Structure 1
Amino acid sequence: MTEPHHVALLHDGRVLVDETGALPSFMPSQHLGSLARALQLVGGSVALTPVAKLADGSRLHVVGSRADVPAGRFVPPASLDPSLSSALSDSLRTPPGRPAWFLPGWFDLVEAWIDSVLAGSGVRRTHPIEAVKMWSISAVARVPTDGGDLWLKTPCEHFLAEARVHSVVSGLFPHLVPTLVAANEAQGWLLMEPMTGEEDDTRAPGAGLEVATQWAAAQIAAVAHVDALVAGGCRRRGVDETVAGFRRLLDSSSELALLSAEELAAIRGCADSLEALVREFWATGIPDTLAHGDLHLGNVAWDGADLRLFDWTDGCISHPFLDASHLAHFTRAVPGDAGLESTYAEQWRATYPDADIDRALALAPLVDLVFQAITFDDIVNTTEPMSRWELGGVVADLLRNLPARVAELG
């Protein structure tokens, strides 16, 4: 059952309510993001806190306005239903690690930076920037200018290197990433030109195969630039880092509590065999190179002529077949993208004829589960507690799949 989303628009310590004295609310929709719905409903412009999940499964959006506050009845938060009043109070406490975009004055700072980088370019910002997505991991905003919209992206502290990574990848493969207008590497701010074909309803057919073709060639070329990529912010996530990360996860992940005793015993019981398979995967003769780290069609723009890979928060140096396996997993049901892995692999066969390509393809889905479990565990560990529900259970679900996969491949 889908639960409602409540919206608390704050102004001078009071909150907007409807004619019944309740918070405005809406039911989620596939066609418009929840932040957009929340802001549209009450005339707000920014989120003031991460979305809170209540005990009954409903959500609470706490928003504000940078312009004139809409007319309506504002009441003290204490007059709300006790569960909503308590959740609102908890949300407004600012714990360590809360992303900067939820803090007062952040939009003013970023707009001043945008105006400074556009000065002298012949383009100027015409309106306040418009929040499109604000959550615990990143914020995305539309930047209206007299030359058309630009886009702002900024990641959380854990992914602060994204601006550096995007810049260094752009230097090597400018045709494969969104075009940068400017980057503030200290703050992690990226100002980018718009893309076409990034949404499900605008992406041209065959995107998966196009990625497999162009990205394999780029990764092969990137082998010669690994040192420069590391210097530019790409983390090394090779075999040793992956094994160590998995062992650490099995010792201390907060999501172990979501597993039954039997599930945890099965996972720990196959850990040694799993490590051997991870090491075998890395020994198949394919060198580590640039990896996107989260390559699926949601991070791909393809309009039939121009391909762009975006969201470089997980950009790293790792085994390239992890990208191919991840992409293939999320394109199984997409018409026209059958044969993605074989298309990708053929370029590697031609370049590394002595590598065991078939074994690497067979092992990649298992190792990608491990790789992604480490990624999500790191994110959860660095996210403020009230936001952890947004990705809660992902690590546990990935771990549950491991014993059966190990048994198939061992």
Structure 2
Amino acid sequence: MLVDATGALPVLPDLPADHDGHALADVLALVGADIPLAPTAKLADGGFVHLVGMRGGAPEGALVAPDALADPAHAAVVAPALAELDPRRSPVLRPDWFRPGWFDLVEAWIDAVLAPSGRRRTGPVEPFRLWSISAVVRVPTDGGELWCKASCDHFRREASIHAAVERLLPDLVPRLVAIERDEGWLLMEPMDGTEQDEQPAGTAAEVAQRWAAAQLEAIEHVPALLAAGLEHRGADATIAAFLRLLATSAELELLTDAELADVRAAADRAVALTRACWEAGIPETLAHGDLHLGNVAWDGRALRIFDWTDGCVSHPFLDATHLTRFADDASASAAKAVYAAVWRDALPSVDVDRALRLAPLADLVFQTVTFEAIAAATEQQSAWELGGVVARNLRLLPGLVVEVG
């Protein structure tokens, strides 16, 4: 391990309280590293240890064994991380990008798919974000940068889902250069307008209107989408999974006895209202599953919706309520209005407003199921990343049941 003169690991500079954390590039640059070697570990005191390394050569500085680290808490994290670089000792649920040789495999694939076009990679891929869910790397080429994404085993179908959606809605998703279906890899063209603070005013309403129209267009293509590998997350499947987690979720232990009692008391009504949302007359269609402005690129000219890990066939209004849930009040109201108007025009005999009133509860149930599945597919060292979301959603359930119905 690389340490300073005191035998301690290098330390990142402090950040303001409202900052969302160091970018991976900052972490790698601090010690001249190239790649993460293992998931970031969270310590009992709330600190983090980033486990990074080099693809070739050796860094400058003092190298010591993990048990020589000045901080025993660091040693307790670093020692198993090094041992787990041996494929025979790697945790079963560890994503491939934390396994030796993964970056070489990805670069070889990129080179192979670019070769027929004459385009050439001009340097090593650059890690942008790697965590339990996915890995995103920047790819420098002689024709401009590309982006490559890989998803964990739980979301490995994203490559096939994205390709299916692109065939149907080519102007609404990132342009694919290539995919590797078996590995779940996507090579994509870059997009403008991915940073929310750079998106123009009215972005939520623009997304709502365009996405409502796209969902209506997709209704007749549902059989093809299902055949392409999109999961059907209908009322029955969603409710069944929700009832299972109410009996078995590990995050039930995060609730107080009073909170758990409130959740159980509200569960039957939550299920009934969720089913009522599905039975309100809105046909199932293509759903993004996690639609918010952080998964949207919009620069005022081109709109692209990305991150199709949760793409499925489901109730369309789940996307609408999820989009507006994270927007400010004015943006949310505008987005709801334009979304509803598109559906009212298309289905004048359906009570669109009732379905929209029920959708926030149905989406909460849907999202709780989503995060329960993610938790089950995540190794223990990464559990902190999304841990607690199921419990947080369950705490919201009783109040939302009262509000909705």
Q: TM (normalized to structure 1)?
A: 0.94
SS at match of 2:191: coil
Structure 1 residue aligned with 2:80: 90
Tell me the distance in 2 between the aligned counterparts of 1:316 and 1:394.
Answer: 21
CA deviations 1:175-205 (Å, max 9, x no partner) are 0000000000000000000000001233232
The aligned amino acid for 1:70 is P
Structure 2 residue aligned with 1:21: 7
Tell me the distance in 1 between the aligned counterparts of 2:404 and 2:194.
Answer: 36
Residue 261 of structure 1 deviates from its aligned partner by: 1.1
Structure 1 stretch displaced more, 27-36 or 106-115: 27-36
1:348 partnered with 2:337: no
1:179 corresponds, among 168, 175, 178, to: 175
The aligned amino acid for 2:81 is S
Tell me the distance in 1 between the aligned counterparts of 2:188 and 2:22.
Answer: 21
Tell me the distance in 2 between the aligned counterparts of 1:185 and 1:364.
Answer: 33
Structure 1 residue aligned with 2:289: 293
Name the count of aligned residue pairs.
Answer: 395
Residue 28 of structure 1 deviates from its aligned partner by: 4.6
2:221 corresponds, among 222, 225, 244, to: 225
Tell me the distance in 2 between the aligned counterparts of 1:90 and 1:75.
Answer: 15
Structure 2 residue aligned with 1:326: 322
SS at match of 1:190: strand
Structure 1 residue aligned with 2:87: none
Whether the 8 Å CA contact 2:282–2:350 is kept in 1: the answer is yes
Tell me the distance in 2 between the aligned counterparts of 1:361 and 1:368.
Answer: 11
Structure 1 residue aligned with 2:375: 380
Unaligned 5+ segments in structure 2 are 85-89
Aligned positions of 1:120-131 closer than 5 A: 120-131=116-127
Tell me the distance in 2 between the aligned counterparts of 1:51 and 1:31.
Answer: 15
Distance of aligned partners of 1:90 and 1:70 in 2 relative to their CA distance in 1, 3 Å threshold = closer
Structure 2 residue aligned with 1:58: 47
1:145 partnered with 2:141: yes
Residue 350 of structure 1 deviates from its aligned partner by: 0.9
- After superposition, the CA RMSD in angstroms is 1.4
Unaligned 5+ segments in structure 1 are 1-14
Whether the 8 Å CA contact 2:67–2:79 is kept in 1: the answer is no
SS at match of 2:341: helix
1:69 partnered with 2:58: yes
CA deviations 1:324-355 (Å, max 9, x no partner) are 0000011125x656411110011111111111
Tell me the distance in 2 between the aligned counterparts of 1:391 and 1:379.
Answer: 8
Tell me the distance in 1 between the aligned counterparts of 2:357 and 2:137.
Answer: 40
Distance of aligned partners of 1:156 and 1:67 in 2 relative to their CA distance in 1, 3 Å threshold = same
Residue 34 of structure 1 deviates from its aligned partner by: 3.6
Whether the 8 Å CA contact 1:43–1:69 is kept in 2: the answer is no
CA deviations 1:268-294 (Å, max 9, x no partner) are 111111111011111111001000000
CA deviations 1:57-116 (Å, max 9, x no partner) are 110111011244331121111111211101112334321110000000000001000000
Structure 1 residue aligned with 2:33: 44
Structure 1 stretch displaced more, 65-74 or 360-369: 65-74
Tell me the distance in 2 between the aligned counterparts of 1:348 and 1:262.
Answer: 40
1:371 partnered with 2:401: no
SS at match of 2:51: strand
Structure 2 residue aligned with 1:257: 253
CA deviations 1:301-325 (Å, max 9, x no partner) are 0010000000000000111011000
SS at match of 1:368: helix
Structure 2 residue aligned with 1:7: none
Tell me the distance in 2 between the aligned counterparts of 1:69 and 1:203.
Answer: 42
Tell me the distance in 2 between the aligned counterparts of 1:332 and 1:233.
Answer: 35
Whether the 8 Å CA contact 2:324–2:331 is kept in 1: the answer is no
Tell me the distance in 2 between the aligned counterparts of 1:368 and 1:28.
Answer: 34
1:165 corresponds, among 161, 165, 179, to: 161
1:212 partnered with 2:191: no
SS at match of 2:301: coil
2:309 corresponds, among 289, 310, 313, to: 313
Tell me the distance in 1 between the aligned counterparts of 2:93 and 2:250.
Answer: 17
Tell me the distance in 1 between the aligned counterparts of 2:11 and 2:349.
Answer: 60
Distance of aligned partners of 1:114 and 1:163 in 2 relative to their CA distance in 1, 3 Å threshold = same
Tell me the distance in 1 between the aligned counterparts of 2:361 and 2:80.
Answer: 40
Q: TM (normalized to structure 2)?
A: 0.95
Residue 31 of structure 1 deviates from its aligned partner by: 7.4
Residue 25 of structure 1 deviates from its aligned partner by: 1.1
Tell me the distance in 2 between the aligned counterparts of 1:63 and 1:409.
Answer: 47
Structure 1 stretch displaced more, 308-317 or 194-203: 194-203
Whether the 8 Å CA contact 1:290–1:318 is kept in 2: the answer is yes
Question: Percent identity between the aligned chains?
Answer: 56
Whether the 8 Å CA contact 1:196–1:202 is kept in 2: the answer is no
1:358 partnered with 2:366: no
Structure 2 residue aligned with 1:4: none
Distance of aligned partners of 1:147 and 1:206 in 2 relative to their CA distance in 1, 3 Å threshold = same
Distance of aligned partners of 1:32 and 1:390 in 2 relative to their CA distance in 1, 3 Å threshold = closer
SS at match of 1:182: strand
